[in-house]
Structure 1
Amino acid sequence: MDPLEDVLALLGLRSHLSAGLRAGGRWAVRFRAPTGVKFNAVRRGTCLLQVEGADPVTLRAGDCYLLTKPLPFVLRSEPAAVPVDGEDAVPVDAEAVYATTERGLARTGDGDGDEVLLIGGSFALSERSPALLLNELPPVIHVPADSSHAETLQWALAQISEELLNGQMGSSLVAEQLATVMFVHILRLHLARDTSSAAGLLTGLRDPVVATALACLHERPERPWTVADLARSCVVSRSTLAARFKELVGQSPIDYLGRWRVELAGRRLRQDDGTIAAVARAVGYGSESAFSTAFKRATGVAPRDYRSRYRAAAGPVG
């Protein structure tokens, strides 16, 4: 069982591609804080990325990046360029760059050329994404074009550009699926090269022993695991597993299992009409009361109330 795949499936990862951007001359575009994970890729030219609170990043042709936190940002041709607003969903003033587009592309800059071409979009995840995945990622993940093992990522970017710019039948659907592939590859590259992330799932997956333990927990979350059971599966001592898991994931294996069970239970409560007792048994609790106590401790709300609030917020079906 792949723990990262499990988490992404539970979070309901969905991609949305926005209009591309062609820019020439001197230019700068300001964006509001994204509500999900934002990405952009430079297909031609160079520009600067400035995320609030972070150091500027120089972007070159073939580079891409993810923005994982709700922080406003600016793309610009040079440090002195004064930005205009550029919301692609709701223009914020008369100068909004994305207020009008042509063939899926907005245009900006004081020059007639299109020295810079960017494509981009966003990834929407559930409200649990910060706790499960995003909190351990840096605000900006920059992937230069010449990164090692980035060939598949470059292939996906080239295909997305082809689909968006040529506008063939079904191009949006194809491009959005490719963007999801790109997201996973960026996470893989981040895992391979960055050893300074905060403790969490991704950090744990770097370590072969902890990764094996995580795979066991995700494959059989309903099993009454003990640290000794997991240690035998990982072929290490109980103390070694406990220490490494705590250091890299930030909690004990049994605490992680409890949190993961709650996440799985939350999905069941949202998606089906099974009884609370049935949900409790499905995720590994021997009694409804034990499950309800654990669920409320983790989420702040009882399972029955959680289901009612979710369905009230979702509205009637049909």
Structure 2
Amino acid sequence: MSTDQFALSSDLVNELLRGMRLRGVEYRRIQTGPTFGLGFAARPGHAWFHFLAVGNAVLRMDDGTPYALSAGNAVFISHGAAHQLLSHMDVPVQDIDLLDREPLGDTVSAVDTGTNAGPTPTAIVFSGCMEFELGSIHGLGKLMPGLMLIDAGGQRYPGLVPILTTMEREVSAARVGFAGILARLADVVAAMVVRGWVECACGNASGLVAALRDPRLAGALLALHQQPGRDWTVGQLAEQCNTSRSVFADRFQMTIGMTPLRYVTEVRMRLASQWLTLERLPIEEVAQRLGYTSQAAFSRAFKRITGKTPGLSRKSRQVAVS
């Protein structure tokens, strides 16, 4: 890949990650004795993040597959699947939600698994459960593996060790404002995990991941994500890639699995959902931002893609949060 193509791909990844949001974050600082078994229930629409700051543990996924973890390792469970953190494979398991906790802030609590911890805990885990909102790249989330094991010192995640270390330091010190700092650091960690996966998922790339690295498509993707409210035509998108309309349309359909204009509409509606539910923008303003000449036209498109009206989508989000 040439320097120009690499820069274009980098710009595109930057543009996509700008729309990523974490919301409804719940953190736990968990310390254990030599024997522990912690169960985490399935949370569809959420992501689990665990950072093992001290000690060793076994991660066992819902299908029974075990993974050995040591201090400095982290895991990102992007689809919220059920799993367990264990000292040994045959230890009894306790539901993490049933254990006593001590509030450390609005979104952070401390959990001690028992009196056998002694003066020095055997293991310390920083754990987070979050709603993982990818905004306009919602389709990317569907392609992400359910489990990503993070070797913070590896080449895929350069610079992650200082961030994870800072997170643990903030939890331990509990200084003023530490909960807000943790939320921002977690956002950075999630972005770095997603970026590392996009950059390194080379051999089996498919769909949007392949398109991000395809110079024949990346130019159009960058343009439409930067200007989602423009009245795009297939010909105009093809011009962004310096290719013919027919060649672009065929390659886009083959790589991403939908027509270019269908993709444009889905990007708009994902952004609309985020703006309506997270940023609380008026429906009329969202419609104008996305290039619709009337609120009615926008509402029809939104319902066609999401299955709900804009107003109902906002109300559903309010009920889920309350």
Q: For this structure pair, what is the TM-score category when the shorter chain's length is used for normalisation?
A: 0.7 to 0.9
Map of 1:33 onto structure 2: 42
Map of 2:4 onto structure 1: none
- 1:13 is matched with which residue: 22, 28, 36? 22
- 2:87 is matched with which residue: 77, 81, 86? 77
Map of 2:113 onto structure 1: 108
CA distance in 2, matches of 1:102, 1:267: 30
Deviating more after overlay: 183-192 vs 262-271: 262-271
1:41 touches 1:119 (CA, 8 Å); kept in 2?
Answer: yes
1:64 touches 1:142 (CA, 8 Å); kept in 2?
Answer: yes
- 1:233 is matched with which residue: 237, 240, 250? 240
CA distance in 2, matches of 1:129, 1:43: 33
Q: Which amino acid aligns with 1:297?
A: R
Map of 1:310 onto structure 2: 314
CA distance in 2, matches of 1:31, 1:245: 39
1:49 touches 1:58 (CA, 8 Å); kept in 2?
Answer: yes
Is the counterpart of residue 140 in structure 1 residue 147 in structure 2? yes
CA distance in 1, matches of 2:299, 2:173: 53
Shift of 1:225: 1.9
CA distance in 1, matches of 2:79, 2:14: 21
Secondary structure in 1 matching 2:159: helix
Q: Which amino acid aligns with 1:44?
A: V
Map of 1:298 onto structure 2: 305
CA distance in 1, matches of 2:64, 2:200: 20
Percent identical pairs in the alignment equals 26
Map of 2:52 onto structure 1: 42
Secondary structure in 2 matching 1:18: strand
- 2:65 is matched with which residue: 50, 55, 59? 55
Secondary structure in 2 matching 1:151: coil
Deviating more after overlay: 231-240 vs 30-39: 231-240
Residue correspondences, number: 301
Alignment of 1:86-105 (within 5 A): 86-87=96-97, 91=98, 96=99, 99-101=100-102, 105=110
CA distance in 1, matches of 2:215, 2:64: 32
Q: Which has the higher strand share?
A: 2
Alignment of 1:111-260 (within 5 A): 112=118, 114-125=121-132, 131-195=138-202, 199-260=206-267
Deviating more after overlay: 33-42 vs 151-160: 33-42
Q: Which amino acid aligns with 1:30?
A: G
Q: Which amino acid aligns with 1:25?
A: P
1:200 touches 1:249 (CA, 8 Å); kept in 2?
Answer: yes
Unmatched segments (≥5 aa) in structure 2: 1-7
CA distance in 1, matches of 2:317, 2:74: 36
CA distance in 1, matches of 2:69, 2:192: 19
Deviating more after overlay: 134-143 vs 113-122: 113-122
Cα 1:279/1:128, change in 2 over 3 Å: closer
CA distance in 1, matches of 2:139, 2:198: 16
CA distance in 2, matches of 1:192, 1:9: 16
Q: Which amino acid aligns with 2:242?
A: V
CA distance in 1, matches of 2:317, 2:182: 31
Secondary structure in 2 matching 1:224: coil
Cα 1:185/1:105, change in 2 over 3 Å: same
Q: Which amino acid aligns with 1:225?
A: W
CA distance in 2, matches of 1:16, 1:308: 24
Shift of 1:246: 2.7
CA distance in 2, matches of 1:65, 1:142: 5
Secondary structure in 2 matching 1:184: helix
Shift of 1:166: 1.2
Cα 1:56/1:204, change in 2 over 3 Å: farther
Post-superposition CA distance 1:214-253 (Å, at most 9, x none): 1101112222222322222122343443344334333222
2:55 touches 2:71 (CA, 8 Å); kept in 1?
Answer: yes
1:204 touches 1:210 (CA, 8 Å); kept in 2?
Answer: yes
Cα 1:123/1:247, change in 2 over 3 Å: farther
Shift of 1:313: 6.6
Q: Which amino acid aligns with 1:234?
A: C
Q: Which amino acid aligns with 1:256?
A: Y
